[in-house]
Structure 1
């Protein structure tokens, strides 16, 4: 089994929420809570996600977008 990890970041807006929603619906799971910072003009949010893939083993490079 292969366990994948991704960290998605971007402006705190509906597009960010839709990216995370899309990944959740593709089988990714939230890994802990989100992070939030302020860069002087806007809020930047980040979310870690993980996914377990059966019948695959780790090798590099991994194209996470195919999962």
Structure 2
């Protein structure tokens, strides 16, 4: 089955590291990245959806970042 995550972070190199780490763990990019102004915190935020095929049934209790 395919699982989905949305990675988000302030617009810093940390966002690129977060996406790179997910890719190194077998996640694949899904769609285009997003970029928006976070009015509450006064910073630009980035987002990138990723997906991954796994060999187990989905459960809402799954820790997706540990897959």
Q: Normalising TM by the smaller chain, what interval? A: 0.7 to 0.9
Query: Aligned Cα RMSD in Å?
Result: 1.3
TM-score normalized by structure 1?
0.85
Q: Give the total of aligned pairs.
A: 65
Normalized per residue, the structure richer in strand is 2
TM-score normalised by structure 2 residue count: 0.85
1:46 alignment counterpart: 47
Runs of 4+ in 1 over 6 A off after TM superposition: none
- Gaps of at least 5 residues in structure 1 are none
- Larger mean CA deviation between 3-12 and 35-44 belongs to 35-44
Aligned to 1:20: 19
